[in-house]
Structure 1
Amino acid sequence: MGLDQMIYGNTLGAWLMAAGIYAATTLALWLLERYALRGFTRFARGTQTAVDDLVADVLSETKFGLILFVALFAASLALQLDPTVALVIRRAAAIAIVVQGGIWASAALAFWVSRFVDQMAGEDAEAVTMVSALSFVGRLVVWSVVLLLILDNLGVEVAALLAGLGIGGIAVALAAQNVLGDLLASLSIILDKPFVIGDFLVVGDQQGTVESIGLKTTRLRSLGGEQLILGNSDVVNTRIRNLGRMEDRRGMLRIGVTYDTPREVLARIPGWIEEIADAQEEVRFDRSHLSGFGDSAVEFDTIFYMTVPQYDRFMDAKQAILLAIHERFERAGVAFAYPTQVVYTIPAGDDSGAEASGAAAPAEDTSSERAPAGG
């Protein structure tokens, strides 16, 4: 039996050549996968650059079984095959290449996401959430393209299919518009970053610390301890007060002293308060003035700023200022005003006077910070 003997439309020599091409291609791919790729991976781990790590991770996802279809297609080129058989082999090789490309694209996306999360974990929580959400969308797009390419290779009319999917997608979008609205709002929150995990928010009449930002809901932990679950679209469409990004905190004190306080003492009170405020750590004094004559007190208004936003430290400083003011007034003999009423009487038949009254009010603190959410 010679090499010129015909077998299924091809000579024995052609069949042997095709077998040799298939074996050589398969062996070459196996050697590349087993030795070259593993050596490159060890090299990439020893360098500081990310590009070689990316290439190593992507190539490590090569599926040897899929590459065999490429070897089969290469071998078939040496043969004269029935058109139907040749078409099947060509389509199988094309589908294998498309699927392998999808696997490589997913691996590259997973590598980037993993590297980003490792770098930003604990520093930018909302960016981690954004990348996790976008990576899912990215994988969905990749495999959608892969599926369409496979269908196109199988002879399916992709244009007609896309048109039908478009009509169906519109119907689904109308039925799930609330869910899609929350999904788009989550992307808006993630990309625009009006707040991040850990910020203290006031959203309408709700307030709390951001615990998580999901695809549909944002979850807050309120001051009372309960969890508040808000739809992302509701959050986006509401005015938000983000107290987590305060750089400092404003405080106001209103103090009233009695009217019998000497004028020279009244003139020194703003200076006393300034000295007391300046003595506190992390406090920036702004101003203190005699602001008016009340019904029963001479009133002083004081403005100061806490250079750190934490409410508990603000209240500690405010308490220290008030106690120091009380101690200073006590040493100087200055009395805080408190509600009193003085009644003057005149003898019967004396029309020269009339009954009058006066009052005095105690020290009053009208600080704008009424709750830990105050600003």
Structure 2
Amino acid sequence: MFDWESWRTWEIWISQTSFLNFALVIGISAVSYVALRVLMSSVLARIVNWLSTGKGRWSDYAAEVFKHTSRLLIAAMALQIGLAVVELGPVWDARVSHLWFLVLALQFGLWVDAAIAYWKEGVIQDKAGQDNQLTVTMVALMFRIVLWAVVLLSVLANLGVDITAFVASLGIGGIAIALAVQTLLGDLFASASIGVDKPFKTGHFIVFNDIAGTIEYIGLKTTRIRSLSGEQILCSNTKLLQQTIHNYSRMSERRVVFSLAISFRTPVEKARELPPLIQQAVEAVENTRFDRAHLLMFDDYALRYEVVYYVLSADYNLYMDIQQAINFSLLEELSKRNIKFAMPVRALEFQEEVPLPKGHGFDQEAVPSTQPTSRSNEGSRKA
């Protein structure tokens, strides 16, 4: 039998203003959601296409972030539009306010998470990132954990949950763990710093302190270097970044300084010809740029010239080939002009007589001397 009392109660409840307002909010929100969905899809598509047309690295990040805009955000915006048109009361306003914060926090987390994922993929695609894939993955995982922990705590705090004790316990526990594994964490963050800043990559030739070698592998804790003598050197990432590192693989050109010493007996006219002659010898070799050649100083036994030029390559073997070619050219030209290289010379000079002091029983004032005296110079030799 049909219950007329129940139907009467339901009819009275439906006829209430609050229910009609609620239904109106739902309807307006649904229409707004459809309109916003179409509008934002079109706008986001245009923004992504515009940012993807080679505007730079940051535009690529922005395009990737915009692709992860959640539909839940559009729904929350549509609900806000409905509540702006129809008033449901302060209770519903408070509830929707909490919902709006929840959606925004979730959307922020999705955007940042997308940026972290895009950064990880970009680093791994790089040559250094392929060898350092574990480090990059661990760093990205740490950032994601911190991100979603912050989002969760923010949502709980907005909902009225007291998170002070929870945060304090996390802080104390984090300090204890950090003290226990501070060395490992230091190397881990140093590895992350190497992956982000890229002071060197796998295959680069570096020199620091008395170590010179090629980077073989960059790990979470250590970096492996193959030295010139053949052995593998393991160095802590933290200690490695504390050193002054010379990265020769990133050298675009090499500055070369060498000296040339010729004899003091060289005539002045020939000594003046030497700087242009050196310049000609350097410029005759490919991949070089001459800088200067000057008579630097009067050395102990030579006229010393200083020469500066640049090798337009970082290849060490090419530098040695160029220096060898310059040396052979200078040998030929100096030999043609009879210009001698300087070398240390000791000259001996014998005195004919050496006076003797009085009181030795000799009537003679002096006797012939057989004792030589010497002076270190390139002067004339006498006998």
Q: Same fold (TM over 0.5)?
A: yes
Shift of 1:248: 5.0
Give the equivalent residue in structure 2 for 1:62: 69
Q: How does 1:41-60 map to 2 (within 5 A)?
A: 41-44=44-47, 45-46=49-50, 58-60=65-67
Deviation at 1:107, TM superposition (A): 4.1
- Structure-1 separation of matches of 2:137 and 2:308: 39
DSSP-derived class of the 1:324 partner? helix
Of structures 1 and 2, the one scoring higher in RCO (CA 8 A, sep 6+) is 1
Q: Distance in 1 between matches of 2:108 and 2:190?
A: 32
2:286 aligned partner? none
- Shift in CA distance, 155/139, structure 1 to aligned 2, threshold 3 Å: same
> Which structure would you say has the larger Rg?
2
The offset of 1:135, in angstroms, is: 7.4
**What secondary structure sits across from 1:62 in the alignment?**
coil
SS in 2 for 1:283: strand
- Say if 2:29 is the partner of 1:25: yes
Structure 2 residues not aligned, in runs of 5+: 128-135, 284-288, 351-366, 378-383
Where structure 1 has 5 or more consecutive residues not aligned to the other structure, the ranges are: 123-130, 361-375
Could you give the per-residue CA deviations for residues 49-68 of structure 1, whole angstroms, max 9, x where no partner exists? 78998877545423335766
Q: Give % identity.
A: 28
Give the TM-score of the pair, scaled to structure 1: 0.61
After the TM superposition, which residues 1-375 of structure 1 pair with which residues of structure 2 at under 5 Å, given as runs? 5-6=8-9, 10-11=13-14, 18-19=22-23, 21-22=25-26, 24-33=28-37, 35-44=38-47, 45-46=49-50, 58-64=65-71, 94-107=101-114, 139-153=144-158, 155-185=160-190, 195-197=199-201, 200-208=205-213, 216-217=221-222, 222-223=227-228, 229-241=234-246, 244=250, 249-255=255-261, 263=265, 265-268=266-269, 270-279=271-280, 280-281=282-283, 282-288=289-295, 291-293=298-300, 298-308=301-311, 310=314, 311-334=316-339, 352-354=369-371
1-side partners of 2:67 and 2:163: how far apart? 32
Once the two structures are TM-superposed, the CA of residue 174 in structure 1 deviates from its matched residue by 0.5
2:43 is paired with a residue of what secondary structure? helix
SS at match of 2:69: coil
Number of residue pairs matched by the alignment: 329
Query: What do the CA deviations read for 1:28-85 (whole angstroms, capped 9, x no partner)?
Result: 324433x22232134332577789988775454233357668878979x9889xx9x9
* Secondary structure in 1 matching 2:302: strand
After superposition, the Cα gap between the structure-2 partners of 1:271 and 1:246, relative to the gap in structure 1 and judged at 3 Å, is farther
CA distance in 1, matches of 2:6, 2:267: 121
User: Counterpart of 2:291 in structure 1: which amino acid?
Assistant: R
CA distance in 2 between counterparts of 1:352 and 1:228 reads 66
